[in-house]
Chains A and B, each alone.
Chain A
Amino acid sequence: GAVVSQHPSWVICKSGTSVKIECRSLDFQATTMFWYRQFPKQSLMLMATSNEGSKATYEQGVEKDKFLINHASLTLSTLTVTSAHPEDSSFYICSARGAANQPQHFGDGTRLSIL
């Protein structure tokens, strides 16, 4: 149980385009979803937290107009990287949890490369 699916697994696109990443909880209702970013040889950095039906809460230094998060249902959250540039190239990972006392479960990540 507690499977989180993330799509796509990797994407390569040109600078200036927007990229959407989907995160789905397959067998539980995700009250809260989280988006992380991980650069090579570094740890995961939390970007934002989103509750279903509410606006996301962004961590300090994360541009909310650049990283658009939508959490419209209890099983789906999306992260859109708008006008992506090479410096946005990274490994993006989502996670989800159901009840507050339950652990977070993570997707397998999306490797984004901007040319």
Chain B
Amino acid sequence: DAKTTQPTSMDCAEGRAANLPCNHSTISGNEYVYWYRQIHSQGPQYIIHGLKNNETNEMASLIITEDRKSSTLILPHATLRDTAVYYCIVRVQSGGSNYKLTFGKGTLLTVNP
């Protein structure tokens, strides 16, 4: 299973872009990169995922390097409500078409006013 490495914490000013890095140097060719976030005392919220192309949705953008060994989640205009723990997860296979998400410690993003 590919492991991910994220900074323990980051700060960002409200209204600025938040760029959250993730290293996954042992990712294999068919593994996707998923991003979730968990606001205190809530369940994780799906943000975005990708394989090798950059992806964008209404919440964020995901930039994956060409060698796929790292990625960056970008929140273009961070708000106070974006304060959360952000998890970068590489999807693994577990039996047939099932898969499971293994959560690491994530990055605590604090958006400051």
Contacts and interface: CB of A to CB of B under 8 A. Distances in A.
28 contacts: A2-B46, A36-B103, A43-B87, A43-B106, A44-B38, A44-B44, A45-B103, A46-B100, A46-B101, A46-B102, A51-B98, A57-B94, A57-B95, A93-B43, A95-B43, A95-B44, A95-B101, A100-B97, A100-B98, A100-B99, A103-B34, A104-B101, A105-B46, A106-B36, A106-B43, A106-B44, A109-B42, A111-B41
B76 to A, nearest CB: 21
Interface of A: 2, 4, 6, 32, 34, 36, 43-46, 49, 51, 57, 91, 93, 95, 100, 103-109, 111
A97 to B, nearest CB: 9
Contact of A93 (B44, B95, B97, B106): B44
A23 to B, nearest CB: 10
Interface residues of B, number: 23
Contacts of B44: 44, 93, 95, 106
Contacts of B100: 34, 46, 49
A36 B87 CA distance: 15
Contacts of B95: 57
A49 B102 CA distance: 12
A95 B43 CA distance: 9
Contacts of A4: 43
Contacts of A103: 34, 46, 49
B104 interface: yes
Contacts of B65: none
B46 A108 contact: no
A44 B100 CA distance: 12
Interface in B30-74: 34, 36, 38, 41-46, 49
Nearest to A48: B100
Interface string B69-109: 00000000000000000010000001101111111111000
